Structure 1
């Protein structure tokens, strides 16, 4: 299954966002790193829920804010999903730490090369763990400016290769 290498789409509902995530999740492979950026409430966890459904992993996907990282094992022999709050993982010392070392120090049961890593708030921090990553930006503010009752979000994505 293929997925566009880059794009920008508006999704009217959380369910639409999850469906997009599910389609993306079906294409992800072990070693893929996704960096999600957007303000609080933009839909990062909602999108991750869809990705998890597409990857067919165990467990309820919730925000990793209070646990820093959560691992979801595959139900079908595929890669695990490691869902990380990069802001809390690296804290205020982001420039002085090693993101891969910090992830490894969490004592996850998965070799990160054998998992898909999704890092919320990862921009500027997590790029160091992989030469290739999918940068995803979520924007709810534009839709709210037009309609305060809107549940829409705009998602932009592109694969970045720094090799």
Structure 2
């Protein structure tokens, strides 16, 4: 990742458009080989955030939840890195303790070399770290804002670059 983007931080976003804008800003800083792990409950905004990353990377295709396709590739429109958007939980299954993420990704027969793409893994915490020397862990907190105001649509994003493997 380009160094202009903070290596860690916390931000609150009131609306989906704010979440997508933050994703777009991050996407502009991501580079080939970067791995982003998104962790948060169902409906937290992982796919919405990834839609913003896709805009920042300038890739082709509509970004939708990878739940039923497990992984989807989006080609760059500008010669930058492609985007691989995956559902790590569905890819690796319930017995993820013994899982082989690299083997599982290889079994998908993706056209894109992981080193030439940005990988965004939903539900990837504790699973996908093995595919890279470092990764960006983003935790999306939907609970805190709802506890403060039950009508709130806000999400709180915490992120930090970590060492993998």
Normalised TM-score (structure 2):
0.96
Q: For 1:46, which of 36, 45, 48 is the aligned residue?
A: 48
Out of 83, 87, 90, which is 1:88 matched to?
A: 90
User: Does 2:15 match 1:37?
Assistant: no
Normalising by structure 1, report the TM-score.
0.97
Once the 2 structures are TM-superposed, how far is the Cα of residue 146 of structure 1 from its aligned partner? 1.4
Whether 1:123 aligns to 2:125 is yes
Aligned residues between the structures: 163
* Structure 1: runs of 5 or more not aligned: none
Given the alignment of the two structures, is residue 20 of structure 1 paired with residue 58 of structure 2, yes or no? Answer: no
Offset at residue 97 of structure 1 (A): 2.3
Q: What RMSD in Å do the two structures reach over aligned CA positions?
A: 1.1
Correspondence for 1:10: 12
- Counterpart CA distance in 2 for 1:160 and 1:119 is 15
User: Structure 2: any 5+ residue segments left out of the alignment?
Assistant: none
| Deviation larger for 27-36 or 141-150 | 141-150
Moved more, 141-150 or 110-119: 141-150
Deviation at 1:104, TM superposition (A): 1.2
Deviation digits for residues 20-40 of structure 1 (CA, Å, limit 9, x no counterpart): 000000000000000100000
1:93 Cα offset (Å): 2.5
TM-superposed CA distance for 1:141, in Å, is 1.1
Displaced runs of 4 or more, over 2 A: none
